[in-house]
Chains A and B, each alone.
Chain A
Amino acid sequence: MGANASRRRSLLPPITSRSLGWVLSVLVLILLVAVPLNGDDYWVRVLTGIFAVAVMAEGWNIIGGFTGYAAFGQVGWFGLGAYTVGVAMSRWGWPFWPSLIAAGLLPAVVAALIGVPILRLRGHYFAIATLAFGIALGELANNLRYVGASSGISLPIGPPFAFFYYVMLAVLVLAVVATWLIARSRLGYALVAIRENEQAAAVLGVNTALYKTAAFAISALLTGLAGGVQAYWSTSIYAPTVFDITRNVDLIVMALLGGAGTVLGPVVGAFLLDGLNEQLTGAFLQWHAVIFGAVVLLIVLFLPGGLGGLVAQGRTGVRNFLRDLKAFRV
């Protein structure tokens, strides 16, 4: 039965791989906590950036991976969080911590409000609506004089890099723990049921509108927090950088690579792809985008179901890749 159980994709993986996952996660976490101690600023900077992307991928995972709604506007929540911290600290003179809390809450509230109408859409229509909303937020930030329009916002100079490293790492840990809790709760069961068959879930009593909206809001909250930390870390923010729409696709590729709908998959995917991108940029300044694109293509073609799927059931091949695309309605 153990062998059988390990060959399925499930909310709750078998005990052995579960405890192995925990041991590995804790080891990696200890290593990450130790990085700034040897005073290497390069790695501190690179890893802080990767943590931010990993939070975004994990945020997408809740609405995209668990619920099956391919949101293409994740960067909108990141930018909204960044601008919340920017405005709160530089315009209103708030301290960082309350500003950061607002950077989580505001995207969550906005997501809950727009979620009610747009979560009625499915498939491509939902993807387009979220993409458009994210772009609209960016345009708004780029044109609204109150938030600095095209000259952006300058924030007070912050503490040393290590501070942001630890805060971003804490947000990432929060995102992973939140996802882990969701995966084994009523909410997680409801989300996966919605992903697999929304109507069948509804007739069994699942309040689909409520749970989808909750997933969308939690997804926005986590992503907004990452944006908030990013804003203070960068000390100056511009709409085109914090609302960089090309990132929407990167996040989804990362989540699919690591395993959408799993707890750690999107984080692993973000570390691999963003880390790879960073190394390629250093080694081949001219060609890195082409090489990166080719690597992404190969990974997506030959690792459908992500690394998580590979570990769990050894599913590879084009047929499964197409199945996964359909399953996550990308």
Chain B
Amino acid sequence: MEAQRRIGDPILRVAHLRKSFGALAATDNVSFELREGEILGLIGPNGAGKTTLVNLLTGVAEPDAGRVEFNGVDVTGWAPHRIGRAGMARTFQVVRPFAGMSVRENVAIGALFGRGQRHSVAAARARADEVLAQVDLAALADRSSSALTLQDRKRLELAKAIAADPLVLLLDEVMAGLHATEIDEAIDLVRRINRGGVTILVIEHVMRAIMRLCDRIVVLDAGRVIAEGTPQDVSANPGVIKAYLGARWAARELGAEGA
């Protein structure tokens, strides 16, 4: 049933997606493509509609209009679990570990119910151990998931998603709150996951990470796509500098002078 996929073909097509909360258009006629094998960055100032977009793509929220085509199938309006099972996995900006479960059991959920659908608990736990080794959490497999540091909770959030064997992984600010070395480790980890054959959409405020990590970048502002292109193109785009980078950089320059 699965379409033949080739590097560079669009695996996720978003067309004219729209979502309003009252009078506020959180997502306003958003269209873009995610191509097989790439790491696409999604950036924009606070309130630009990035998380809403991820919610629309994963079925957590329903769009008012527009279309989401995933791996050749129209998945608009599908329930979250069907989209998850079809191979779209995500992390949450505020991590959501299953608190009453161990780290291993958390990851086993992805292995049991995601695209890879392992039917036996034993097979799922074995897969969880593989993934935990991949994200350097193997030593904490038996710990309660509520007793982890922020960095480890972010890794766990990633591990749960990876264990689902997704085709596409949507990362909603997995680096927020991490310090510089941890960010470098996270960048390496995301690259490794990508090389393992997972197409990645990454939302991030840490510009250094976005610029190093992404093949292409889509910029959102006030619910609309205002630019799209390589990191170089986007960072040179006057509209983007004005809407997003400009304000920040200006603030930083001023701050540096003041000090």
- Does residue B60 face the partner (Cβ distance < 8 Å to A)? yes
Residues of B within 8 A of A176 (CB): none
The proximity string for B residues 52-70 relative to A, scoring 1 for CB distances below 8 Å and 0 otherwise, is 0000001110000000000
| Contact between chains at B98 and A186 (CB < 8 Å) | no
- B:58-97 near A, CB below 8 Å: 58-60, 79-81, 83-85, 89-90, 92, 96-97
| Contact between chains at B96 and A199 (CB < 8 Å) | yes
Residues of A within 8 A of B97 (CB): 196-197
| Contact between chains at B98 and A196 (CB < 8 Å) | yes
The proximity string for B residues 216-250 relative to A, scoring 1 for CB distances below 8 Å and 0 otherwise, is 00000000000000000000000000000000000
| Contact between chains at A207 and B81 (CB < 8 Å) | yes
The proximity string for B residues 158-176 relative to A, scoring 1 for CB distances below 8 Å and 0 otherwise, is 0011001000000000000
Docked Cα-Cα span, A7 to B80, in Å, equals: 34
The distance from the CB of B115 to the nearest CB of chain A, in whole angstroms, is 7
Which of B6-14, B99-107, B190-198 is the interface stretch? B99-107
A-B contact count (CB 8 A): 105
Residues of B within 8 A of A4 (CB): 142-143
| Contact between chains at A190 and B113 (CB < 8 Å) | yes
| Contact between chains at B110 and A204 (CB < 8 Å) | yes
Residues of B within 8 A of A207 (CB): 79, 81, 113
Interface residues on A, range: 20 to 34
Residues of A within 8 A of B102 (CB): 8, 10
| Contact between chains at B105 and A204 (CB < 8 Å) | no
Interface residues on B, range: 35 or more
- Does residue A322 face the partner (Cβ distance < 8 Å to B)? no
Docked Cα-Cα span, A1 to B108, in Å, equals: 20
- Does residue A202 face the partner (Cβ distance < 8 Å to B)? yes
Residues of B within 8 A of A197 (CB): 96-98
Contact of A186 (CB < 8 Å), options: B89, B112, B114, B142: B112
Contact of A11 (CB < 8 Å), options: B105, B114, B117, B143: B105
The proximity string for A residues 109-149 relative to B, scoring 1 for CB distances below 8 Å and 0 otherwise, is 00000000000000000000000000000000000000000
Residues of A within 8 A of B115 (CB): 205
Given known pairs A199-B60, A202-B80, the reply for A327 and B100 (CB within 8 Å) is: yes
Chain A interface main SS type: helix
- Does residue A50 face the partner (Cβ distance < 8 Å to B)? no
Residues of B within 8 A of A202 (CB): 59-60, 79-81, 84
| Contact between chains at B142 and A205 (CB < 8 Å) | no
- Does residue B144 face the partner (Cβ distance < 8 Å to A)? yes
- Does residue A184 face the partner (Cβ distance < 8 Å to B)? yes
- Does residue B208 face the partner (Cβ distance < 8 Å to A)? no
Docked Cα-Cα span, A204 to B59, in Å, equals: 12
| Contact between chains at B121 and A189 (CB < 8 Å) | yes
| Contact between chains at A203 and B80 (CB < 8 Å) | yes
| Contact between chains at B117 and A196 (CB < 8 Å) | no
| Contact between chains at B101 and A205 (CB < 8 Å) | no
- A:161-187 near B, CB below 8 Å: 184-186
Task: Give the residue name and chain of the A residue nearest to B122 (CB).
Answer: A184
The distance from the CB of A46 to the nearest CB of chain B, in whole angstroms, is 34
- Does residue B202 face the partner (Cβ distance < 8 Å to A)? no
- Does residue A106 face the partner (Cβ distance < 8 Å to B)? no
Residues of B within 8 A of A82 (CB): none
| Contact between chains at B84 and A203 (CB < 8 Å) | yes
| Contact between chains at B81 and A208 (CB < 8 Å) | yes
| Contact between chains at B100 and A204 (CB < 8 Å) | no
- Does residue B109 face the partner (Cβ distance < 8 Å to A)? yes
Docked Cα-Cα span, A205 to B85, in Å, equals: 5
The distance from the CB of B130 to the nearest CB of chain A, in whole angstroms, is 17
| Contact between chains at A196 and B101 (CB < 8 Å) | yes
Docked Cα-Cα span, A13 to B105, in Å, equals: 12
Residues of B within 8 A of A1 (CB): 142
Residues of A within 8 A of B100 (CB): 9-10, 192, 195-196, 261, 327
Closest 10 A/B residue pairs (Cβ): A205-B113, A196-B98, A205-B84, A200-B96, A202-B80, A8-B144, A205-B85, A197-B96, A205-B114, A206-B113
Excluding A196-B99, A201-B113, 14 further A-B contacts by CB distance (< 8 Å) are: A8-B102, A9-B144, A10-B105, A184-B121, A192-B98, A193-B98, A196-B101, A197-B96, A197-B98, A204-B81, A204-B109, A206-B113, A207-B81, A327-B100
Q: Which residues of B contact A (CB under 8 A)?
A: 58-60, 79-81, 83-85, 89-90, 92, 96-102, 105, 108-110, 112-115, 117, 119, 121, 124, 142-144, 160-161, 164
